Structure 1
Amino acid sequence: MFLLEVGNLKENFAKYFSVEAAVTEELKHEVFRVRHAVYCEELGYENTNPDHQETDSYDARSLHIALRAQAHGRIVGCVRLVQCDPDTPEKLLPFEKLCTDAIDRSIIDPAQVDRRAIVEISRLAVLSDYRKRKGDSGSPMAISEEDMGTRDQPRFPYIPVGLYLGLLVAAELHGIEHLFTLTEARLARHLSALGFRIHLIGRAIEHRGKRVPSVIYRTELMAHLPPFMQPLYDQMKQDMSRQYACEPA
């Protein structure tokens, strides 16, 4: 994969999108509507419902991130960080229940790290109109070499980069170090190529396709974050710090 020439990523990203901490009920409802459109209506992972909002019991203890399109001001993508239950931190996160026998605990054992400093990345969703290769793999978000363009006509995957930078900001602001996820191996490879170090920590399982348990070590990733991403990260951190400070009690 060739090195992308992205110019000023911060300014270019701001032309098209913004990333926000979804802390208000209104913004959370917009996130849930995106999830319903993708997970229920398009992919059929969950049942549709009259409210056109996809929610579950983990949302109450999750950090929600929203991607807004500047062209019309609507939310077009989202992701969440599921936190451990503060009252019973030993309770398993969703991926731990699915991967009980698939995690290689010689690499890392989620049960043995500080449960207050771990989350699970989940419910990553982007509306189909904003995914470059519509209908490609039945995935809520996909990246391939095609999405990078060619040497003569490079592209940049603003949406996944924006969402992943946003979740990293949320993790830093909440003292989170380990970010676990179930991911397609191909998506992990392409995100790693963009600078997001994702470590596979076990064997693949069948969960809406082949998924591999993985982890991001936030401190390690930030130490190797590509320099051209740093200004955008810093801007998101400034914006989201303000949003979390205004979070309703």
Structure 2
Amino acid sequence: MAFFDNLTLNLGDGFRKYFQISAAFDNAGRDDVFAIRHEVYCEELGFEPVRANRRETDEYDRHSRHCLLRTSTEPHTLVGCNRLVLARPEDPAYPLPFERTCAATLDRRIIDPAKEPRGAIAEVSRLAVRGLYRRRKGEARSEVALSDSDFGTAAQPRFPYIPISLYLAVVAIAQREGVETLFVLTEPRLADHFSKLGVKIRQIGGPVEHRGTRIPSMMDVKGIIGGLRFFMKPMWRVVNEQIDAGYTSGSPDLPAGSAC
């Protein structure tokens, strides 16, 4: 892709130099996730009410898998988080968050989530990046941002490690959880930004007002992994290995969100 012809940096090495990402299986990891979300969603942006325990949680956390991004050097400062909302084990038909938010705008001729095998679908949500790592013009009122400027120019390309790694991490988690289709409420231009990376996002309904204008969209997990452009593959390998380490040494069978 011409836009990245001058991007000579190995994105895997670059990511590993500055960041590390993991699945938050234990109570301590999930507590860090909920603390980041409270800082961003409650204290900074006012999307949710401030809570006395300074932890932002909801009903979906107990059947979600969470990922946590930190700096790679001591003291491993918290950077951001994301989650994958799975079907409820005891009630698979229970709606995912977007199924409620977009009930009136989904184009069910494209896909009807209610008719899909519930164990094979999941939703990406609650992506949050701490203010220290997103303090640029126009980002103050957004939980995370991705813009053309994040990719630099043809002469001086650069790369948005933070939001991209958080999305790749939930893809890696989805693969391990047997999820085939990911749903996400995206900013209108996210599909354009992701197309640079080889990720195809398909719009599945009209826009809704949800902390700004959002578009309901879907992504194919195998398609994402197989379609990544060559310069993305080293970063995918590093993120995938780091997530895999958690599944190997962690406790993936621990009830998700049990710290709530």
Per the TM superposition, whether the score is higher than 0.5 is yes
Structure 1 SS opposite 2:219:
strand
Superposed counterparts of 1:61-140, under 5 Å: 61-71=63-73, 72-131=75-134, 133-136=136-139, 138-140=141-143
Alignment of 1:177-192 (within 5 A): 177-192=180-195
The one-letter amino acid of 1:192's match is S
Local SS of the residue matching 2:3: coil
Aligned twin of 1:31: 33
**Residues 1:140 and 1:6: Cα distance change in structure 2 (over 3 Å):** farther
Q: Deviations over 1:194-246 (max 9, x none)?
A: 32221111000111111111001111222211122223322333332231233
Please give the TM-score of this superposition, normalised by the length of structure 2. 0.90
Aligned-pair CA distance for 1:70: 2.2
TM-score norm. by structure 1 comes to: 0.94
Question: CA–CA distance in 1 between the matches of 2:46 and 2:99?
Answer: 23
1:174 is matched with 177
Once the two structures are superposed, residues 149-187 of structure 1 have per-residue CA deviations (whole angstroms, 9 ceiling, x without a partner) of: 222322211111111111111011111111101111122
More RCO (CA 8 Å, sep 6+):
2
Check conservation: 2:37, 2:126, Cα contact below 8 A. yes
From the superposition, tell whether residues 237 and 149 of structure 1 become closer, same or farther in structure 2 (CA, over 3 Å). closer
Alignment deviations for residues 118-165 of structure 1 (CA, whole Å, 9 cap, x no partner): 111100000111115254362111111111222232221111111111
Q: For the structure 1 residues 138 and 239, does the alpha-carbon distance in structure 2 shift closer, same or farther, using more than 3 Å as the test?
A: same
- Counting matched residue pairs gives 249
The one-letter amino acid of 1:177's match is E
Q: For the structure 1 residues 244 and 123, does the alpha-carbon distance in structure 2 shift closer, same or farther, using more than 3 Å as the test?
A: same
Whole-Å separation in 2 of the counterparts to 1:87 and 1:145: 42
Query: 1:218: which partner in 2?
Result: 221
CA contact under 8 A between 2:197 and 2:228: conserved in structure 1?
no
Give the aligned partner of residue 2 of structure 1: 3
Structure 2 gap ranges (5+): 255-260
One-letter identity of the residue aligned with 2:96: L
The verdict on how the C-alpha distance between 1:167 and 1:119 changes in structure 2, with shifts beyond 3 A counting, is same
Q: Is the 8 A contact 1:132 1:147 kept in 2?
A: no
Say which SS state the counterpart of residue 157 (structure 2) adopts.
Answer: coil
Letter in 2 for 1:44: G
In 2, the alpha carbon distance for the partners of 1:105 and 1:85 equals 22
Query: 1:58 and 1:134 mapped to 2: Cα distance?
Result: 32
CA RMSD of aligned residues (A): 1.7
Query: Per-residue deviation at 1:69?
Result: 1.2
